[in-house]
A and B are shown apart, each in its own frame.
Chain A
């Protein structure tokens, strides 16, 4: 079962910090609900796992993530992940992530993700109908975690964020808070099955209403 995703997420983080986080694969992986990098195998190769829980079904994918391409000039990262679950599912993903600056607002950027996810086995058979919705949910949580983590990073010297922070500091505003006094990010460490279920129900009803309208 193959699912193709093409998503754009506008972030209130400047492009430089977003790119800095993206290139730190371990930190980025931590933004993925249920995922973690357990071992660095080489400069570009990592070992890790993802735990996905949907209702009573738990899949623990173990596998590798390889950086195929990282182009700083384009803020472009190409990753290939492959994993299998002991219970009879396997998955692979080709992901291209590009961070583009928001020309209207230098403190903002857009995270562009294109992914082709292939899932085999039980997850494909039973979860086929839900794959797109579950992926959407996962990515939404990932992006929120990514955003929060990126905001905790120190802004680069002379960067728009630093400038904004400086201005904000000067004016005594609170906007500088993320840069100067980072809050611990509220990272969801595991996918919340109930939340996914609720999102599915909402999107299903949404679909029904949409059709009627």
Chain B
């Protein structure tokens, strides 16, 4: 059975294990149009659902007339909240401890809220019938600004919460107040400010944006009235959690609910939550006994499924006169929309926002986040970031720039001065996070040298000296730390389920393998990278390792993919499941080679007898033996399951530098250069990492330079089509330069930290830093996003820099 003798290096290369830039296994089907997305799924007898939505942002439902819709041939049902009431499904719990209307119950709270559903033979009939449902509203005053929402006489958005002074996260002190969450030590922070030699403060708004994945949300629900079981194909980043919730809501035992996330066309946090459309399709299928498909359109996706951000932030830094930061205070008013449907670990209503002390050794810090209801769609998800980490990183990076500007210090210098030093790790921040590892200075030096930072500053000085320069040049610098890999179940849970993740590996008799995880890829390339981890751990070529995720009937329970948790959590589960198999394989190999286990060495793909290279058994040999004739006392077979509960989060970091040239006549910002150095610890597939970084930077560029969800005074969302909502294509996207350092995580079995979100989190403040830098000589300390040409042109005019 043994293959011809090859060198260990050659055999290692052949495995295409960790560190190999293995081509993506997924792409063969995607580039041929052979993916299997929710909307590709067709079932016999399948009906189609469409949703009647509120045209106004706030109002009372006076009358709903279904008759004209029901009269349309091909329409099977029109359901409203009144129809869901007997099932107690007209409201549903949210992941944040609030409730949300499934279909508007007497009142609409935001424009495009779900009011009724129509089930018809096809999608077109359903859409026509939606137009025919007549609804009369009595308009109510609209409140869109979270500060205005907290005024004493503000309109009451949530009448269903009348008299409730206690929310899921403590006291409510106003009818539109959801929670106030504090982290850090307020008195210590206040003392730092009292004794500060210098302080700075800055107000900033991180606008409401939408993750806008290419594939919108949808599902196909199929209830079998004979067997009493429910199968639902769904666009979900967390299918196992969906199964638990569906079982809890419907009363169908979890064993009879099967949730399948097939191919997912991007999630970015948008596909974590449970939306009314899913619930309605499931109810409709149960009621009608036929499969029901619902797939939202783009306008519905942007208007009603989860948005991100919308944090109004006030930051303050206290420092010594020579630029050592001594204190940080942050106050946030968070616009959560009409229902609190943030997808955060239960105990953290503002997610991991308390990473807000960033990469800096700040002795005293305090942050307070106040969640507020407004007449906007619910959400507040982690758009390509760990929970609220993007907002936190934006704030601290902006504040460090503001402080540097006040002190006349260089951005790089002030950062170096305040870094958590390499020898301080593991480092406990003022907010209580234990940073696992980092080497910020080495990474910063590498970037500054790569871009010739001094040369750039000299060029900028020369341009500023020339009054006829057609452009303003700006240099942005960000040195960020992320917290990902949620999370230790003693701290993190979703609806009470700990945020572990899982892996099951089976080695087949002939040495190939199948592995199943509780996560679900949405473009991350799990089928490629997970196999590489197993290849390295077990010496099986990644080519013969099948990776399956997303089907709750076959995969072990896991919390899903978001918050860069796949590699830090599921990746660790994979390694540890593989190591269980490895331990058993060693026993079998020892038996086969008639030696003691301790006399064996592991080399790439085989156990060798120490001192005799000719005596070995490969993993494939062992697998055959495991099924053929296992040694006495060992069970046959070769498989393992591991549930990994991480001991801590991981803390990837990066140093990003951006050079912009702003046209003084048009306000157009050209990204001349963007240099991104990421340290995600151990690198599993450098090609996929580069792809992830390119994607994250592009989405960061989108947010910083153009994405916004503008509302008019009546609460009409004016940017819910791709005509208005900026989705950069190849045409607009700048060139990205990537680089890396490797600082492994000491507590992770592979040393890996996760990477997909760093480029999004890190790049957004870098763009702002660069744009503001272009204006800094004019005394500008901050400009809110998006930095589109019109807004930048207005800033040019305001500060006398326009041509």
A150 to B370, CA, bound (A): 60
Contact A90 B716 (CB under 8 A): no
Most chain A CB atoms below 10 A, which of B57, B137, B299, B716: B716
Contact B56 A120 (CB under 8 A): yes
Contact B55 A88 (CB under 8 A): yes
Known contacts A86-B131, A90-B55, A90-B56; is A2 also within 8 Å of B713 by CB?
yes
A89 to B135, CA, bound (A): 11
With a cutoff of 8 Å between Cβ atoms, the chain A residues found around residue B57 in the complex are 120
Nearest residue in A to B712 (C-beta to C-beta)? A1
Q: How far is the CB of A174 from chain B (nearest CB, A)?
A: 51
Most chain B CB atoms below 10 A, which of A86, A88, A122, A126: A88
Count how many chain A residues have C-beta atoms less than 8 Å from C-beta atoms of the other chain. Answer: 17
Contact B714 A118 (CB under 8 A): yes
Interface hits, B51-99 → A, CB 8 Å: 52-57
Contact B712 A2 (CB under 8 A): yes
Tell me, yes or no, whether B717 is within 8 Å of chain A by CB. Answer: yes
Contact B55 A89 (CB under 8 A): yes
Tell me, yes or no, whether A178 is within 8 Å of chain B by CB. Answer: no
Known contacts A89-B55, A90-B55; is A121 also within 8 Å of B132 by CB?
no
With a cutoff of 8 Å between Cβ atoms, the chain A residues found around residue B139 in the complex are 90, 120
Contact B55 A1 (CB under 8 A): no
Known contacts A125-B717, A128-B718; is A120 also within 8 Å of B55 by CB?
yes
Q: Which of B136, B137, B716 contacts A1 (CB 8 A)?
A: B716
With a cutoff of 8 Å between Cβ atoms, the chain B residues found around residue A1 in the complex are 712, 714, 716, 718
A87 to B712, CA, bound (A): 20
Interface hits, A126-152 → B, CB 8 Å: 126, 128
Q: How far is the CB of A128 from chain B (nearest CB, A)?
A: 5
Q: How far is the CB of A1 from chain B (nearest CB, A)?
A: 5
A126 to B719, CA, bound (A): 9
Tell me, yes or no, whether B635 is within 8 Å of chain A by CB. Answer: no
With a cutoff of 8 Å between Cβ atoms, the chain A residues found around residue B716 in the complex are 1, 119-121, 124-125, 128
Tell me, yes or no, whether A84 is within 8 Å of chain B by CB. Answer: yes
Known contacts A120-B55, A121-B56; is A87 also within 8 Å of B131 by CB?
yes
Count how many chain B residues have C-beta atoms less than 8 Å from C-beta atoms of the other chain. Answer: 23
Q: How far is the CB of A67 from chain B (nearest CB, A)?
A: 22
With a cutoff of 8 Å between Cβ atoms, the chain A residues found around residue B720 in the complex are 125
Known contacts A1-B714, A2-B712, A2-B714; is A121 also within 8 Å of B131 by CB?
no
Tell me, yes or no, whether B134 is within 8 Å of chain A by CB. Answer: yes
A118 to B131, CA, bound (A): 22
Q: How far is the CB of A187 from chain B (nearest CB, A)?
A: 29
Q: How far is the CB of A91 from chain B (nearest CB, A)?
A: 10
Q: How far is the CB of B476 from chain A (nearest CB, A)?
A: 31
A128 to B136, CA, bound (A): 23
Contact A121 B713 (CB under 8 A): no
A1 to B134, CA, bound (A): 22
Q: How far is the CB of B446 from chain A (nearest CB, A)?
A: 46
Contact B55 A121 (CB under 8 A): yes
With a cutoff of 8 Å between Cβ atoms, the chain A residues found around residue B718 in the complex are 1, 124-125, 128
With a cutoff of 8 Å between Cβ atoms, the chain B residues found around residue A124 in the complex are 712, 714, 716, 718
A2 to B713, CA, bound (A): 8
With a cutoff of 8 Å between Cβ atoms, the chain A residues found around residue B54 in the complex are 88
Q: How far is the CB of B663 from chain A (nearest CB, A)?
A: 16
Most chain A CB atoms below 10 A, which of B132, B712, B715: B712
Interface hits, B25-61 → A, CB 8 Å: 52-57
A86 to B52, CA, bound (A): 11
Interface hits, B134-151 → A, CB 8 Å: 134, 136-137, 139
Nearest residue in B to A89 (C-beta to C-beta)? B55
Q: Mark B696-736, 1 if CB is under 8 A from A, else 0.
A: 00000000000000001111111011000000000000000
With a cutoff of 8 Å between Cβ atoms, the chain B residues found around residue A90 in the complex are 55-56, 137, 139
Most chain A CB atoms below 10 A, which of B55, B132, B134: B55
Q: How far is the CB of A206 from chain B (nearest CB, A)?
A: 20
Nearest residue in B to A85 (C-beta to C-beta)? B55
A2 to B718, CA, bound (A): 12
With a cutoff of 8 Å between Cβ atoms, the chain B residues found around residue A88 in the complex are 52-55, 131
Most chain B CB atoms below 10 A, which of A2, A84, A125: A125
Interface hits, A68-95 → B, CB 8 Å: 84, 86-90
Contact B132 A86 (CB under 8 A): yes
Q: How far is the CB of B722 from chain A (nearest CB, A)?
A: 13
Contact B134 A86 (CB under 8 A): yes
A125 to B725, CA, bound (A): 12
Q: How far is the CB of A132 from chain B (nearest CB, A)?
A: 14
A83 to B136, CA, bound (A): 11
Given contacts A1-B716, A2-B713, A121-B716, 9 further A-B contacts (CB under 8 A): A1-B712, A84-B137, A87-B131, A88-B53, A120-B57, A120-B139, A120-B716, A125-B718, A126-B721
- Could you list some 9 contacts between A and B, CB below 8 A? A2-B712, A86-B132, A120-B55, A120-B714, A120-B715, A121-B55, A121-B111, A124-B712, A126-B721
Q: Across chains A and B, which 6 residue pairs bring their CB atoms closest together, nearest first?
A: A121-B55, A88-B55, A124-B716, A1-B712, A87-B131, A120-B56
A interface residues, Cβ below 8 angstroms from B: 1-2, 84, 86-90, 118-122, 124-126, 128
